[in-house]
Structure 1
């Protein structure tokens, strides 16, 4: 009788151990997006500005490549349109899931700050991009020094304009930190280097990261300032939007749009000459850089992140480090002659 009772108890004990043990194992090895992780992998969520933007679709490719190469569980989420409130909702949702790190390209860094602070308080590592000087993170990683990029854009615009004439700057949002840093540097560089160029009184146009908005505002500027000769845009939709207006108004060859852009959007205007060139960095590589820093932060290997460190990613082979701000050297200049080399 005692032997039978003992056998029953042992079987029951084994059943409970297996039941709860399997439950714990499944939770620990399941990614927040439903994918199964390997034992030593980490779950890293990358939050972009707009899931429909070709720029961020390219970034998604880089994140997926990093996941495949590293064995980490990385995935991309974001709003369906460039809307800060929607992006914050995405971040808040991810914080409640089983993730180890958040990599964010914030639409409005200040608006994102409370959510990212909450994430860090829960032990989630935070890496940001296009938000230099942001403090509620482990690191901000940029493809280049902001001032150098702004100066490079101005050099290209000055070349197109013959180093003289009126111009205006364009940003996605007046709250976009990196965009405004680039334009500030560009304007300062113009004043020192190209004295015959003149910034118009309506010096900074907010185009809401929308090509149609950039197009309509460019038409308004051309009407208001008939001697305008240049548009310098920070968002990848600014130069093609302005270039479309230039072409339609028959001002091709007389007014030029230069700035951040990608061949998949700016291609027709690179061909026409209204958008002589675009500058950019490969967002796929930026996505990889964010994920690499996330892994290093999770694993506590941040002592390696010093001046000159090689992240093992093209353009980030010799980084500069200023506190939390990290910069690579990955500026690209794309025109009609080399646009076919870049498939994004």
Structure 2
């Protein structure tokens, strides 16, 4: 249904569902948090962190999400409802980096500070600030690790990417190439770098089943692959399943990004050699602090703030800084 034709009863129902029935008092700052979905453990943990931080500091957090990853209309509706409920800061993990920009522009024109968490908009300047992992550096770390773990053997690399044009997907992929010592676009490019060492590139959409299918297809093209880069840990789990099914799971270095609790367990089990861990609780807490500062002083957050990344592995390699499984487990997100 086009947004301009949604009747007021529908918006009212949506507002009630989000807990937005009435604006908070003037003494209680209202902060909105919009995630891509409310089921992904990463965003569940982000919501938990933001809710706890807001409650501890005397603010009210209202949360919304798209129905699925990519549901821009759902995020737009949540943003409109939050503004109506009195939110002066909205924290958002954009599902569609470009399509959400007009709604963000409208919010900022009304005096609302908008901070992107985890993923930038396109252009990044569409929000007041971005609090996120340096995804390019996350890629660099696992690229360096994979290069060292390969031990000088000629590389035959499979990349299981997100999907074409996604900035986070490009940053992780290109950072991996940079860390591996291959030619790579810079961190601002949304184009995926290519090199003869990459024997197969496939989109996984960050999904385990799709990652397994993509890996099976790549094995048909190049059965002697020895390095697999994956956009995230579900895709890595799918890749491992495909390799195990083909009897090749012992001779391939799989690296990934996220640092979720299941991902760290997969590192401990030897399914993933190393992963770059990011920190959604830190993103959420920093977002709440910025919102409270804006409510108090009118000072807006600006620019990019790096929320940190660390390489987690059970098998350290010389020359690449890493943290062990215990650290990864202590700081992971999702069910422990």
Report the TM-score, using the length of structure 2 for normalisation.
0.76
The 5 A counterparts of 1:195-344 are 199-200=197-198, 202-203=200-201, 205-267=202-264, 269-300=266-297, 302=299, 324-328=303-307, 330-335=308-313, 337-338=325-326, 339-344=328-333
**Contact 1:252/1:273, CA 8 A, preserved across alignment:** no
What secondary structure is seen at the aligned counterpart in 2 of 1:111? coil
Question: 1:292 is paired with a residue of what secondary structure?
Answer: helix
Q: How far apart are 1:110 and its partner, in Å?
A: 0.8
Matched, 1:104 2:105: no
Partner Cα separation in structure 1 for residue 26 and residue 225 of structure 2: 60
* Structure-1 separation of matches of 2:81 and 2:152: 49
Unaligned runs of 5+ in 1: 1-30, 306-322
Establish whether residue 150 from structure 1 lines up as the match of residue 128 from structure 2: no
Secondary structure of 1:151 counterpart: helix
Shift of 1:198: 5.4
Distance 1:163 1:74, change over 3 A: farther
Per-residue CA distance 1:159-203 (angstroms, 9 max, x = gap): 33335421133333323212312322221332359xxx9542544
CA RMSD, Structure 1 to Structure 2 (Å): 2.9
Q: How many residues align?
A: 291
Whether contact under 8 Å (1:107, 1:176) holds in the other structure is no
Aligned to 1:161: 150
* Cα pair 1:32 1:97 within 8 Å, conserved: no
- Aligned-partner Cα distance in 2 for 1:168–1:241: 13
1:78 to 61, 65, 75: 65
Shift of 1:56: 1.0
The higher radius of gyration belongs to: 1
Q: Which residue of 2 aligns with 1:62?
A: 49
Structure 2, unpaired ranges of 5+:
1-17, 184-194, 315-324
Measured in 2, the distance between the counterparts of 1:206 and 1:297 equals 40
Cα offsets for 1:3-50 (capped at 9, x unmatched): xxxxxxxxxxxxxxxxxxxxxxxxxxxx96358846432111111112
